[in-house]
Amino acid sequence: MTDALPDRRSAFRSAIDRFLSERRDAKLDKLAPDDPKRDALIAQYHFATWIEDAARRVAQIQIVTHSLKPIHPDARGTNLYRPPDTLQPRFEIGSHSLGAGIADDVVGNAAALDVYKFLKLEVQGRTLLQWMLERDASLSEALSADADQAGAWIDAFTAITRPSGAAIASHSLAKQLYWLCGDDPLDDRGYQVLAPLYASSFAHSVFRIIDEDRFGADGKEARQAKREQQMHPRGFHEYAGLAIQKLGGTKPQNISQLNSERRGNNYLLASLPPRWKSRSLKQPWLIESAFPRRYGRREDVRRLVRLLRDFLLSGPPPNVDTRNRVDGYVDALIDEVVAFAGELQSGLPAGWSDDPRCELVEEERLWLDPGRAEQDESFSSRWHWMDWPDEIGKRFGNWLNAQLGPELSVGDAEQRQWRRELLVDEDELGWAWQLSRQRQRLDAPTYIPTRGATP
């Protein structure tokens, strides 16, 4: 046994004793000194007696992240506990994005919630439940000198994270979707029944963020500064078309613990088509490169770079999931490259790069102003030589490395990877597809550059 175990065992025992004492004393204070119920209450909070009773009552509640009752309050079926580290990482925002700060929900008999508060006691930065799930030896010794008794209690407590019942089940009042998995929509055997649950922990996280944005002190101060036309160091967030869904009516605790904490309120963001704002397209005058000054300032580009940088700084494990997630961010940035170039190519008059105010490097002129090749023979010759796409790939790689910052050890190898992904992007409407279409339009039978010719 290491030296740390006795110290942790004492910490566990002290935390549990303090928890029981506080709850016992709070009830004793409500009784008269000569009340005959005092002795029974004191006995009820004896360490082994209370732990034994709590291990029996814990079966009445369940810790969940995805619950059924918000779908329908009378539904009787399976709830699930799926913490973020057990979920597949995805590019979209979801329960997998919550991280270690996830708020667990509790469903079941509200009278047994004291057991949940017991399991949420923190010792050395972790809850009792987390220690129990890891079968910590020092916690087992703190609970009982009898290893079998302690093991039985831990088994009972950790069952709070598992679905109740022998098998996962839905209910007639729950939502059910028939999802086509086969090839023939007329074949009933080709459908899979899906029973969606309410992402309770995720909904609670969204609620806390929006509630703080709407009613927090910082937001109120910033709005007041705006009304008074004063400067403020922080901004504020507005949520247009926000709606509130009440769950549980006058008894929100019947839905879940987190729903009760929100007083039954659940925010619904507006699901409406966007209202596009036309932006005036300006020529990239007086800049050497469009990557940092134009492309890099696009809102979606800044967001994607921030997400990629934060993900890499989190120290993800070197596995397939990490590689796929990084590839997803880079693919999205490449899509933005293609969209940015398309806006300039279609929105500006051909030949704009011939203006004296255009200081772009030659390769970026060839990239962003292909229409000039139809009216400028020298420019067309250089465009058809097709050595410039490789330089654009290098410039993209250098730009992305610079955006990721000095905290990340990215260099030539990563630059070559970003460049390669851009140059081999053969998806429909991607980089290679765009170049192919431009070449089909610009290729002229009267001019075919030959090897060795001076472009």
The b/e string for 184-200 (b: 16+ C-beta within 10 A; e otherwise) is: eeeeeeeeeeebebbbb
- 346 CA to centre of own chain: 35
pLDDT at 452: 37
Burial 251-286, CB ≥16 within 10 A → b, else e: ebebbbbbbbbbebebbeeeeeeeeeeeeeeebbee
Instruction: Give the model's pLDDT for residue 109.
Output: 85
Q: What pLDDT sits at residue 446?
A: 41
Q: Could you give the CA distance from residue 123 to residue 93 in angstroms, rounded to a whole number?
A: 31
pTM of the full structure:
0.54
Q: How far is CA 75 from CA 62, 172, 199, in A?
A: 16, 7, 16
Q: Going from the first residue of the chain to its last (455 residues), give the mean pLDDT of each consecutive group of 10, the final group possibly shorter.
A: 68 93 90 86 92 92 90 88 88 86 85 88 90 92 91 92 77 91 91 92 93 90 85 85 89 89 91 70 90 91 91 88 87 88 89 94 93 90 89 88 79 70 60 72 50 37
Task: Give the pLDDT of residue 314.
Answer: 87
Q: Is 61 in contact with 108 (CB distance < 8 Å)?
A: yes
